[in-house]
Amino acid sequence: MAIGLIGKKVGMTRVFLKDGTSLPATLVEVKPNYVTALKTPDTDGYTAVQVGAFEDKEKHLTKPQIGHLKKAGRILRKLREFRVESVEGYQVGQELRVEEVFQPGELVDVVGRSKGRGFAGTMKRWDFGGFPQSHGHRYHRAVGSIGNRSDPGRVWKSKRMAGHWGNEPIRVQSLLVLDVVPQYNLLVLKGSVPGPNGGILFVEKSKIANRRSQRLKLNREKPMVEKLLKEVREDEGA
């Protein structure tokens, strides 16, 4: 359990090493976050740090939200709690910057909302095979039978049917941090993250980083990150 930050998806790109290796990367803009509340076992029954981001106007928030956020001295639009072992070292109103929380070569989890696809049929939403497309068939892309005769005499809950697709919380685990660019408040992650460009993301230390498979992954990919950073520093010094 560790602190995390709130950011915004900028988009995807590629990072090239000098040997020609191409790495898929996502740019996440993480402007300064602020500690808005501290949760302790004595007052709340658990230990956590509440973090806020994206300054806004008071007219866009309710009065209880404004009263809560004035303790931090800022009106922030997005809040998120991160479970921590201890709140020591944190104080309400403290600024958290991306370079202070994340370092190149570590693993992080990213939570966001997937792109909304609207109403979709079963073939698109659940990858159903559909009926034969030949002559003589009345149905082609229909869902088919959904009942069970007299027992149970109803449609089971969670039956895979047509409906709203997307726009749901998605967690992508164990993404490698390729680089941190403090001057632009950017976090460069290897791979893709959920949501559209401009979507809100919650980035936190990976919850599965201690698994053996993830340690092996980190040992395998960390030299690549070190090589990338070395080439970037050489280009900056040139």
Q: What is the dihedral of CA 196, 202, 204, 207, to 10 degrees?
A: -80
Q: Are 112 and 201 in contact (CB under 8 A)?
A: yes
- Asked if residue 1 has pLDDT above 70, the reply is no
pLDDT at 238: 53
| Position 230 confidence tier, pLDDT thresholds 50, 70, 90 | confident
pLDDT at 2: 81
- List of domains in the chain: 11-30+102-116+176-238 (2.40.30.10), 33-96 (3.30.160.810), 117-165 (no CATH)
| Position 75 confidence tier, pLDDT thresholds 50, 70, 90 | very high
The predicted model gives 51-63 an average pLDDT of 92
Q: Are 237 and 221 in contact (CB under 8 A)?
A: no
Averaged confidence pLDDT in the chain: 91
- Asked if residue 48 has pLDDT above 90, the reply is yes
pLDDT at 237: 67
The predicted model gives 145-173 an average pLDDT of 90
Q: Cα separations (Å) of 16 from 103, 139, 186, 214, 217?
A: 20, 49, 17, 24, 20
Token representation of residue 167: 């726009």
| Position 101 confidence tier, pLDDT thresholds 50, 70, 90 | very high
- Asked if residue 148 has pLDDT above 80, the reply is no
